[in-house]
Chains A and B, each alone.
Chain A
Amino acid sequence: MPRLVIDDLQIEVPEGTKVIEAAERLGIMIPRFCYHKALGSAGACRMCAVKFIHGPFKGLQMSCMIDAQDGMVVSTTDEEAVAFRRQVIEWLMMNHPHDCPVCDEGGQCLLQDETVSGGHGLRRYPGRKRTYHDQYLGEFIAHEMNRCIHCYRCSRFYQDFAGYRDLGPMQIANRVYFGRFRDGPLESPFAGNLVDICPTGVYTDRSSRYKARRWDLQRVPFLCIHCSLGCSTVASARYREVVRIEARFNESVNGHFICDRGRFAYPYANLADRPRRARVDGEDASLAEAVRAASGRLDQISMNAGPDAVALVASDRCSLETLAVLKRISREKGWRHPAVFPRPDLEHKTRRAVSRLDRRLAVSMRELESADFILAVGIDPVHEAPMLALALRQAFREDAGIVVMDPRPVSAPFDFDHVAIAPAEIGGCLSRITEALSALQADSAAQGKETRRPEAAGPLRADLDSRIAGIVERLRGSRNPVIVCGTDIVRDSTPDRAADLARLLLQLKARPCLFFVLPGPNSFGAVLLAESPGRSFSDVVQDIEQGKVKALLVVESDPFKNFPDRERLERALDRLDLLAAMDYLPTSVVGRAHIVLPTCTVFECGGSFINQEGRVQRVEPVHEGGIPVHQVSGGGHPPRVFSHEVPGGEIEAAWRTALEVAGYTNARDNLSILKIMAEEHPGFARCRDIPTSRSFRVLPDAGDRPPVCEETGDRAAPEAADTLEVVLVDRFFGTEELSGYSPVIQNADSEPLVFLHVRDAEPLGIAHSDWISIALEGGGLEVRAGVSAQMAEGVLVIPRHRLLEWQKLGPVPAQIPFGRISRAGKE
């Protein structure tokens, strides 16, 4: 490890560390623009010049371009270096429009900081400035090219790091321009990171434009809850309104970046039609009154019809606090344990995934980046766990091989082999890979015996054989393979099969190698707290229909979003004696509930969530809640009347209100939520000792459990050749619940397509982007078709998009006969 001296301080750094980085470790921040930890060095801006006094380099050099070496003596304060940097910043400012007062970057701008630190204060250049035309880059990002200092960070991020190809540098010399070929929305789902990464105000967040200076904001280290990965963010609020989300570095989860869903989903917290007032039977009430009413009626029903006539419904966007409290009160009251998952299969697969993950097997997303071979099954990364796609891209850039086994027309910012097979075939392939690998293993263990070829077992398609053999070979030849497994579209036993393969790989390679993607931000927490086997919402509906359940307390959950049969759900809810809803979203359930108890969003009350690798992450509130000032004032001056009350400020975290509904009178003051959590699951005891900025994993140590592979009757692949299997899927925008309420995301979203294979489409006379109609019992579904050759045959891929009434499909899984699908006349 090289040891060097920077500004009279000694430091030892790992081989390959740049001098700029070594200095940073000493707390010396050498000015820089183009250097960025995730993007590396470019030597483009010349801002990081320092003086090399002793060692292999001499004189003025760029500290971002030179590796730290033994015996180097470096000065960052040398007169020559200081003068050089002062000149560089003067050049860089030559064409700058000096529009800081109207620039959103002002106050958090690296260019401002380095101009000051470089000592440039007086403009000497009297000539004309170079100016550019700006482009329309979509709903998320504003473009102001005149502010550019040509550090190339944006294009290096956009093209090299993230792998998208529609933004980059054009022109030459003094005219170099960063933008698109034509105006138009940026294609990358990670484009929002340009806002964070540009050291000046070329790219700014349109959704928060002109709303605040950084120092006006309440800024808190935060957590993204828009998929199961749990990326780190910084959330900012002003005047009781969330105004901006930025990426926050997390060395285990997301690295430096986040996706655009995570960045632009926040407006759900600011909605004008958010439930802000409690309601009882259609009348506004105070929260206390509504709690009293709910509490009384629930007790009444418990008394008359037995406590298990009361059922709780939650969702995986509930915090761990809320889920723990619901578990506690349902036990103490004898109510039915909360149903968290909309479908039994999701609950089952999540539970299997969680129970198979342990400390030795689980890889974090950052560790995944150093894998050299990745087999991803039943997952469409960009759509289901966006930042996973970026992690896979980093592995790909280091030459990892990637195989994606999935029926969808998967597209991703890296090269991969796509094994496009139906969901039913995935599990079988995994088993065969495991068998073949362990057979080879046994052979090489028993030397001398002739090598046995893995037998082709199971009724699989012949053309898969060679591909499977290829995967087996690559797994064998890799040093650090990882299995990524989704839980949405796969069959019930697939997570177990993936875990079996991962266990074998762990034996062979002695490295963690399993990465699950779960349905939602707190699915992991939900199954940890669930009774086993847990119940899903469809069980609840059945119980209502059979008259066993008479009251429903729905907590931060919208069954209408996911329940496959809307009419049946409406009928069931109408039978209830009491429907009480607690939520911060204006959901359909809130609209029909007898009693509405508004709750706080995670921005207002904080909370803990467990991501898909078992990482418990806790955040503090960003602001105290209440109705945004501009909504109270109608956009004008804030009210001039003084009061101690914050409008809309009486609402609380769901867990507090739930405790009060259950009769805990002291919920507000004395109860320690951390104590409740620790009592409900021993794994959460550590929450008490861990500061919110740190996370920990609740995973069992390895080896203490034999793999209990529950035999589950998977649905077989459809036999009939004249039907298509419906595969309901998530999409980057439009299917996740919270971001679906964000106006900026709604504007940016594109029309949802239903995909089918060319060979299935052709006989029906359907071409790409034709309107098709799907005739169903619950009515027809008219939608635009996507026709692709890069997907499995025999499936119809339908996004659960908020603009598609896919719920009409009736109980899913479903087979749709070809005869029901036809070209629609619509243009």
Chain B
Amino acid sequence: MIPEALKRELLERTARAEHPREMAVDVMYALQGYYGYMSDEAMEEAAEIVGMTPLELEELATFYDFIYRRPVGRYVIRVCDSAVCWMEGYQSVVDHLTSRLGIGLGDTTADGLFSLIPVCCIGYCDRAPAMLINRKVYGELTPEKIDRILQKLATGKPAAGEE
């Protein structure tokens, strides 16, 4: 259960909305922020807040990339797999990431630090290939640059934009 205060706040925001369901994504974000991911129970809690059925919310949650229905690592790395990045070397970025982290796309490292997932164009095409880690964007990726970023995050130096 989310804290009473958070629940109250979400209920109030939902009540102010013209249609409660327009708050669906915001509410899921808030719960995801609290739990780290959306468990089945969290889905049911969120559904109740916005007055939707869990199924209706699930239709949205499983369609929208930024809602996690499974636990993710502390850093969620999303590699852009859209056209421009793909032309600019997406494959070598993914190859490098998977071999460095020792995980496949969709997986999380055993230490719970990194998750790796593909994402649609993140609007960084001019600096392709690009990726997003939590809320920070990285462009013009090379193996060396990726190593530096991972190193920095892994050694615990606070990464900018951490949620």
Q: Does A810 contact B (CB under 8 A)?
A: no
- Interface positions, chain A 146-168, Cβ under 8 Å from B, are 165-168
- Interface positions, chain A 126-175, Cβ under 8 Å from B, are 165-172
**CB atoms of A169 and B56 under 8 A apart:** no
Contacting residues, chain B, for A171 (C-beta < 8 A): 62-63
B58 to chain A, nearest CB (A): 5
A657 to chain B, nearest CB (A): 51
- Interface positions, chain A 172-206, Cβ under 8 Å from B, are 172, 180-182
Contact with A along B46-66 (1 / 0, CB 8 A): 000000111110110011000
Give A220 to B62 CA distance when docked, in angstroms. 44
A191 to chain B, nearest CB (A): 13
**CB atoms of A170 and B58 under 8 A apart:** yes
The closest CB in chain B to the CB of A179 belongs to B55
B66 to chain A, nearest CB (A): 13
**CB atoms of A169 and B59 under 8 A apart:** yes
**CB atoms of A168 and B63 under 8 A apart:** no
Q: Please indicate which of the listed interface residues A165, A170, A180 has the most CB atoms of chain B within 10 Å of its own CB.
A: A170
**CB atoms of B53 and A172 under 8 A apart:** no
The closest CB in chain B to the CB of A173 belongs to B63
Contacting residues, chain A, for B95 (C-beta < 8 A): none
A120 to chain B, nearest CB (A): 30
- Interface positions, chain B 19-77, Cβ under 8 Å from A, are 40, 43, 52-56, 58-59, 62-63
Contact with A along B130-143 (1 / 0, CB 8 A): 00000000000000
Could you tell me the dominant secondary structure of chain A's interface residues?
loop
B109 to chain A, nearest CB (A): 24
**CB atoms of A168 and B62 under 8 A apart:** no
**CB atoms of A180 and B55 under 8 A apart:** yes
Pick the residue among A167, A170, A182 that contacts B62 (CB under 8 A): A170
A2 to chain B, nearest CB (A): 37
Give A181 to B48 CA distance when docked, in angstroms. 14
**CB atoms of A168 and B56 under 8 A apart:** yes
Give A170 to B55 CA distance when docked, in angstroms. 8
**CB atoms of A166 and B53 under 8 A apart:** yes
Give the A-B contact count at a CB cut-off of 8 A.
29
Contacting residues, chain B, for A181 (C-beta < 8 A): 40, 43, 53-55, 58
Contacting residues, chain B, for A172 (C-beta < 8 A): 62-63
Chain B interface size, under 10 / 10 to 19 / 20 to 34 / 35 or more:
10 to 19
**CB atoms of A166 and B55 under 8 A apart:** yes
A14 to chain B, nearest CB (A): 35
Contacting residues, chain B, for A182 (C-beta < 8 A): 40, 54
Give A180 to B54 CA distance when docked, in angstroms. 9
Give A417 to B41 CA distance when docked, in angstroms. 33
A181-B53, A181-B54 are known contacts. Are A168 and B40 too (CB-CB below 8 A)?
A: no
The closest CB in chain A to the CB of B43 belongs to A181
Give A182 to B53 CA distance when docked, in angstroms. 12
Contacting residues, chain A, for B58 (C-beta < 8 A): 170, 181
The closest CB in chain B to the CB of A166 belongs to B55
Contact with A along B83-114 (1 / 0, CB 8 A): 00000000000000000000000000000000
B30 to chain A, nearest CB (A): 20
Contacting residues, chain B, for A168 (C-beta < 8 A): 55-56, 59
Give A181 to B60 CA distance when docked, in angstroms. 12
A181-B43, A182-B40 are known contacts. Are A167 and B55 too (CB-CB below 8 A)?
A: yes
Contacting residues, chain B, for A167 (C-beta < 8 A): 55
Contacting residues, chain A, for B43 (C-beta < 8 A): 181
Give A500 to B52 CA distance when docked, in angstroms. 41
B52 to chain A, nearest CB (A): 8
Give A172 to B62 CA distance when docked, in angstroms. 7
The closest CB in chain A to the CB of B56 belongs to A165
**CB atoms of B53 and A170 under 8 A apart:** no
B162 to chain A, nearest CB (A): 27
Give A170 to B43 CA distance when docked, in angstroms. 14
Question: Could you list 23 examples of A-B contacts with CB < 8 Å?
Answer: A165-B52, A165-B53, A165-B55, A166-B53, A166-B55, A168-B55, A168-B56, A168-B59, A169-B59, A170-B55, A170-B58, A170-B59, A170-B62, A170-B63, A171-B62, A172-B62, A181-B40, A181-B43, A181-B53, A181-B54, A181-B55, A182-B40, A182-B54
Q: What 5 A-B pairs come out closest when comparing CB atoms?
A: A181-B54, A181-B55, A165-B53, A170-B62, A171-B62
